[in-house]
Amino acid sequence: MLTKPDRKAIRAKRRRRVRNKILGTAERPRLNVFRSLNNIYAQLINDETGVTVVAASTLSPELKGQLKSGGNLEAAKAVGSLIGKQALEKGVKEVIFDRAGYLYHGRVKALAEGAREAGLDF
């Protein structure tokens, strides 16, 4: 009997398909998002050199004590604005958004909107 594939396998397949089409460069790094139940993480990656330019999460010292929960929309928006500010300090204005197989909805969308409000273009 055939079983339904689990959510992680479906997301991994979608993630591979998306990652084959996008590539972060020094001028326009890839803004990668990872979400767990309790936290959300974002990082700017230069795929040409394999270097993380900037990283932010709900566990970052700038946000850790200020948030009630790390797994809600408010926290995701705060992480987006934090990574946007850090990117602008490094001289990065444009990025390629990598939603990593997640739907552009909820916390992923809130993070993207926070980064846009901070000044990133994508």
pLDDT digits (tens, 9 = 90+) for 34-45: 999 999 999 999
Nearest-CA neighbor of 118 among 45, 23, 35, 31? Answer: 31
51-89 pLDDT, tens digit each: 999 999 999 999 988 999 999 999 999 999 999 999 999
pTM for this entry = 0.89
Query: What pLDDT is stored for residue 24 in this prediction?
Result: 92
pLDDT of 2 higher than 80:
no
Pairs from 84-91 (Cβ < 8 Å, separation ≥ 24): 84/114, 84/115, 84/116, 84/117, 84/118, 84/119, 84/120, 85/118, 85/119, 86/54, 86/56, 87/44, 87/53, 87/54, 87/115, 87/118, 87/120, 88/118, 88/119, 88/120, 90/44, 90/53, 90/54
Give me the residue label for tokens 């979400």. Answer: 35
Return the structure tokens found at 95.
């990025």
The amino acid that residue 75 corresponds to is A
Going by the DSSP 8-state scheme, the letter that residue 7 receives in this structure is: H
More confident residue, 71 or 1: 71
**25-118 maps to CATH 3.30.420.100:** yes
